[in-house]
């Protein structure tokens, strides 16, 4: 209670659900995003949930804006306890159809936006020797997929810089923590507002989870940041294990299925908004959920197991011991 929390990309999707969840804890939540209407609606969500909201229009691609936002948070809400990096943009297209300025913009927002947020948070947390930084990642931080080369590159880069930072904090004996949450496909508005050059409506690769599942994982990670990362969803676990064991086989599988699985059968709307250069929610609130509520699940058994891995390990050990005892008794 009364934590001071900063959430980037807070106007929609996972960021919106995370901000609302912290609000339900009566936290003081600073919401950073570009879209005026989405940002104001997100602030209302936090307030209605029981928290205190501070909406700050911010483009995370610009470090000066991020750093100024952090200073304002500390002036108006108090020292930052938790910083959650979520903001991103993307381009759905084959690599050779993405222009250099488009790729650079995705990198500036989706990778350097995390770097900027982490720098701003660390400047303030390190001198106090406390605080937590949560990087919202993806299974795509380990496994690239077709049609999302810029986004996958950004997520891989976040993974690398966050690991390096974690080693440095451990070397320093710092009590500032950083952790990463690798997400599955989530039903967010991104599929209705990222730049898409695909012929059909973009969709998350099933199975699809609701953003509240992601939010629960982020809050748990913020409460337990000693773990270096969390995997959310059985699909994330399966993908990362398959990539570690047989990446070449996965290359061929995704080459066959990756284009089809990321598009619906419907044509892409001709008037679909884009948020690459300007916010799509400047005059319209998209909320936390995307257009796939009928396909998305509100829970994850794997997330429960991840949050209670000690109990799961103990239960597994007990079952193994019982099985061994039964086997020995049978032999005797």
Positions marked catalytic: 151
Tell me the pairing of strands 185-186 and 82-85. unpaired
Contact residues for 3 (Cβ-Cβ < 8 A; gap 6+)? 22, 25, 27, 28, 81, 82
d(CA 4, CA 233): 28
Can you state the angle between helices 211-223 and 13-24, rounded to 10 degrees?
60
Q: What is the DSSP string of 200-212?
A: EEE-PPSSEE-HH
Cβ atoms within 10 Å, residue 251: 16
Rounded-to-5 percentages of helix, strand, coil across the chain = 50, 15, 30
Q: What is the DSSP string of 286-304?
A: --S--S-TTTEES--HHHH
CB 202 within 8 A of CB 189: no
Please compute, for residue 34, the number of CA atoms within 13 A of its CA located in the half-sphere on the CB side. 18
Closest by alpha carbon to 280, among 89, 45, 143? 89
Residue 9 DSSP SS3: coil
CB 229 within 8 A of CB 181: yes
Q: Which letter does DSSP use for residue 228 in this model?
A: S
Contact residues for 28 (Cβ-Cβ < 8 A; gap 6+)? 2, 3, 4, 5, 51, 52, 54, 77, 78
Cβ neighbourhood burial of 226 (10 Å; 0-12, 13-18, 19+): exposed
Q: What is the DSSP string of 91-106?
A: EES-GGGS-HHHHHHH
């Amino acid at each position: 209670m009364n934590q001071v929390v900063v959430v980037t990309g807070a106007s929609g999707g996972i960021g919106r659900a995370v901000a609302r969840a912290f609000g339900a804890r009566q936290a003081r939540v600073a919401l950073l995003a570009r879209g005026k209407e989405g940002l104001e609606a997100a602030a209302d969500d936090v307030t209605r949930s029981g928290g205190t909201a501070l909406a700050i229009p911010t483009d995370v691609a610009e470090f000066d804006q991020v750093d100024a936002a952090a200073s304002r948070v500390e002036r108006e809400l108090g020292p930052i306890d938790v910083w959650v990096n979520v903001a991103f943009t993307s381009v759905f297209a084959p690599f050779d159809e993405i222009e250099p300025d488009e790729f650079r913009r995705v990198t500036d927002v989706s990778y350097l936006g995390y770097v900027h947020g982490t720098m701003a948070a660390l400047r303030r947390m390190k001198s106090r020797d406390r605080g937590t930084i949560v990087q919202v990642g993806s299974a795509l931080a380990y496994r690239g997929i077709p049609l999302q080369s810029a986004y996958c590159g950004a997520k891989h880069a976040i993974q690398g810089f966050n690991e390096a930072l974690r080693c440095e904090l451990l070397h320093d004996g710092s009590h500032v923590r950083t952790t990463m949450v690798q997400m599955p496909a989530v039903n967010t508005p991104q599929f209705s507002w990222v730049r898409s050059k695909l012929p059909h409506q973009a969709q998350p690769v099933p199975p699809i989870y609701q953003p509240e599942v992601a939010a629960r994982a982020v809050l748990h990670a913020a409460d337990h940041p000693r773990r270096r990362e969390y995997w959310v969803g059985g699909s994330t676990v399966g993908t990362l294990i398959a990539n570690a064991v047989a990446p070449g086989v996965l290359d061929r599988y995704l080459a066959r299925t990756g284009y089809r699985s990321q598009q619906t059968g419907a044509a892409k709307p001709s008037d679909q908004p884009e948020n690459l250069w300007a916010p799509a929610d400047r005059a319209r609130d998209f909320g936390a959920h995307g257009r796939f509520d009928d396909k998305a699940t509100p829970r994850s058994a794997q997330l429960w197991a991840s949050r209670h891995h000690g109990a799961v390990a103990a239960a597994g050990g007990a079952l193994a011991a019982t099985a061994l005892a039964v086997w020995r008794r049978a032999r005797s």
